[in-house]
Structure 1
Amino acid sequence: SSAPEVLKPVLKPQEITRPEYEPDPGAIFQRDTLVSHYEPKKTEIQEIEPLFTEMVVISGGMYFRGSNEGSRDEMPRHAVKLSSFALDIHPVTNEQFVRFLLAMGGEKDGNNNDIIRLRDSRIKRSCGKLVIESGYAKHPVVGVTWYGAVAYAKWIGKRLPTEAEWEVAATSGRDHFLYPTGNEIEKIHANFFSSDTTPVSSYAPNTLGLYDMGGNVYEWCQDWYAYNYYDASLVEPDNPQGPPQGVYRVLRGGCWKSLKDDLRCAHRHRNNPGAVNGTYGFRCAADVV
């Protein structure tokens, strides 16, 4: 019998869109009176190779998501049909994200949205250089907006996971898993109800080999959030992409500050796409062939 076909992540061409101009509202006051026109200082753009994260392939099929016991926005529990996809085994780290900031030449995306707010992160500007706080290179990047997560994913030829993909990956595709670790989760299994992030992959992975699916950082997903979206997803269960528009984007997985309940695989969190928080990070997904 022939060996089963092995599915591999397929990465898109790497794409980077930098802002058209240097957004500096104070620039008008900095003109030299002897110079007839103002030229914003050019940032040195560096061609930088990303540090890639290993991925796990999750086979397509029918899976369950949601919960009939949880919050109203987790109901009803229902089946979704997903195509095969790949997911990073851990959240994006500071040492990975700082390379992206260097490649971008700043903290804005092509539409002038903030990518990250450095003061909410462990990456700092010191004498014009980007520096990661000592000891935090392998911690998940935090203070990243949804826009920043999307832009980073494009830069490495990946994408953000959909909310459905994220939840199925967290449960390892097991119908009955309440937490990524099974039906119980304790402080030895994940970083929650604590005072700070931990380096990625500090705790044992879930059954699929994915680290930090519960706790450490909340992770941005691609979807807009609607509290009653599962009513629609119930009727159209194929590769649900979330509502067509919204105010908030989805965040998943709980974080280092969370109580245990937030680490449930079905738990949904959301915020404005431009929101930053010392508990918000992300990981990337990809299609497979």
Structure 2
Amino acid sequence: MNKIKLVALVFVGLIGFSSCKKDKLGSALGFGSGKTSSVNIGSASTATGIAYNQKGGFQVEKKFSGQTTGPNLVFIEGGRFTMGTVEEDVLGTHDNIERTVSVQSFYMDETEIANIHWLEYLYAVQKDSTQEFYESALPDTTVWRNDLAFNDPYVEQYLRFPGFRMYPVVGVSWKQANDYCKWRTAAVNKQLAGGYNQVAEGKAPKGKKAQAKAAAAATQRTVAQSKPTIESGKVLPSYRLPTEAEWEYAAKALIGTIQEDENQSNQRIYPWDGPYMRDQFGKKTKGKMLANFKRGRGDYAGVAGKSNDGAIITTEVYSYAPNDFGLYQMAGNVNEWVYDLYRPLSFQDFNDLNPIRRNDYLDKSNLYDKKNNNSLIDNKSRVYKGGSWADVAYWLAPGTRRFIDEDSSTSTIGFRCAMISAGRLK
């Protein structure tokens, strides 16, 4: 009988101990209830016991519930993948040999940046910046001009005519794309914060005391509406160009091939399953082209009445089905700038976690002798990927890569933005 009592007491003690366990606290969980612990987790430091948010004390944002997903962004869960070319290297460049890398979770635009987005940008910088900067932000519309082709209407119409609003912006250099990312970061954060540094307009008060009172109130409003700090959680991380590894990982979207216990059913040549450019599986879309590309010499879209991809040049950014991450046109339509500097041997000099080539470390530009026209490679050579409306299917494979000068622009290169995923466990 005593043994039974002893077992019962131990059991009750274990229940009591488990009920006294402290609330678990995560970065995005906000303030805990404090009902099961002697210290109210979240309202006071678990390291010192000092209360948060006291007058003159350490301030902690109470309402943070995780990073806000910015406009047009899609969450890309990170992981391990085989980066590099998975088909025959027909050009013999050998500049993207397969290797295993891991990429941290991040966000990416679900579409390419469209003409309407760039016009919004031009409107904003014309209001708030110098005329010189506004002119530097203008896309080069002459990229459409060709002495042997009648593309003249696109020179004047493609960027600004409403019929092209949702077509991808082209004629944008790598540098211009980076400037757009910086502006977009500021514009989005200002919008999320409800605007800041704004003083309410109204009739001017009469009398010195009234004017002084109004000025003090205006100062308080300005302080209250000042730019939020990073600690507030109301400011998103910076928009930027994706790294080459991020772009390739997002394009392949191998999350759609995962089976149990990390097994993948197949590798992917393109952002979809199979080696074909036509839909093999859809009941209503079977046989339809999966991307906007050049089918062969002189064939940009097929025949009238049965166009194979529905677009002779670019097409709207939401055309065709998205990949398994929800990203549209990661193959075809336009090539896309990525952040990386081009080096043919990047696959040798890589970090296997979040790899990037941002400078000529370990692979100096003077090894390529561009000065004497023995190479096109220098410290301004930037990678672009994805294939375009004017490219054959070979370039639509995410593992292929090309480069061009960061100041250059063409009618076949656009871009989309990316952003770090801050504080996710995955």
Question: What TM-score do the two structures reach when normalised by structure 1?
Answer: 0.74
Q: Which residue in 1 is equivalent to 2:85? A: 67
- 1:224–1:250 CA contact under 8 A, matched in 2: yes
Q: Which residue in 2 is equivalent to 1:190? A: 291
1:152 and 2:180 correspond: yes
**DSSP 3-state at the match of 2:347:** helix
Any idea what the Cα deviations from partners look like across 1:177-228, whole Å, max 9, x if unmatched?
1001223223610100123000011100111110010000010001101111
1:103 and 2:124 correspond: yes
Between the aligned partners of 1:282 and 1:107, the Cα distance in structure 2 is 24
Q: Which residue in 2 is equivalent to 1:231? A: 348
**Greater length-normalized contact order (CA 8 Å, ≥ 6 residues apart):** 1
Between the aligned partners of 1:275 and 1:146, the Cα distance in structure 2 is 7
Report deviation, 1:232: 1.0
Between the aligned partners of 1:154 and 1:123, the Cα distance in structure 2 is 27
Between the aligned partners of 1:96 and 1:192, the Cα distance in structure 2 is 23
Question: What TM-score do the two structures reach when normalised by structure 2?
Answer: 0.51
- Counterpart code for 2:118: F
Any idea what the Cα deviations from partners look like across 1:244-286, whole Å, max 9, x if unmatched?
1423101110000110000011010110001110111000001
**DSSP 3-state at the match of 2:277:** coil
Between the aligned partners of 2:122 and 2:136, the Cα distance in structure 1 is 14
**DSSP 3-state at the match of 2:117:** helix
Q: Which residue in 1 is equivalent to 2:110? A: 89
- 1:159–1:286 CA contact under 8 A, matched in 2: yes
Q: Which residue in 2 is equivalent to 1:210? A: 327
**DSSP 3-state at the match of 2:402:** strand
Between the aligned partners of 2:383 and 2:133, the Cα distance in structure 1 is 20
Percent of pairs with identical residues? 31
Between the aligned partners of 1:138 and 1:217, the Cα distance in structure 2 is 13
Report deviation, 1:73: 3.9
- 1:192–1:257 CA contact under 8 A, matched in 2: yes
Structure 1 stretches of 4+ moved >4 Å: 4-11, 106-110, 112-115, 121-125
Report deviation, 1:116: 2.1
- Counterpart code for 1:287: I
- 2:385–2:401 CA contact under 8 A, matched in 1: yes
Change (3 A) 1:148 1:107: farther
Task: Name the count of aligned residue pairs.
Answer: 239
Higher strand share goes to which structure? 1
In structure 1, stretches of 5+ residues that fail to align are 12-51
Higher helix share goes to which structure? 2
Between the aligned partners of 1:92 and 1:218, the Cα distance in structure 2 is 12
Between the aligned partners of 1:142 and 1:92, the Cα distance in structure 2 is 9
- Counterpart code for 1:197: T
Q: Which residue in 1 is equivalent to 2:318? A: 201
- 1:63–1:81 CA contact under 8 A, matched in 2: yes
- Counterpart code for 1:225: Y
- 1:9–1:287 CA contact under 8 A, matched in 2: no
Q: Which moved more, 1:137-146 or 1:59-68?
A: 59-68
Any idea what the Cα deviations from partners look like across 1:160-180, whole Å, max 9, x if unmatched?
000000000000035611001
- Counterpart code for 1:252: K
Residue from 116, 120, 133 that aligns with 2:161: 133
1:76 and 2:104 correspond: no
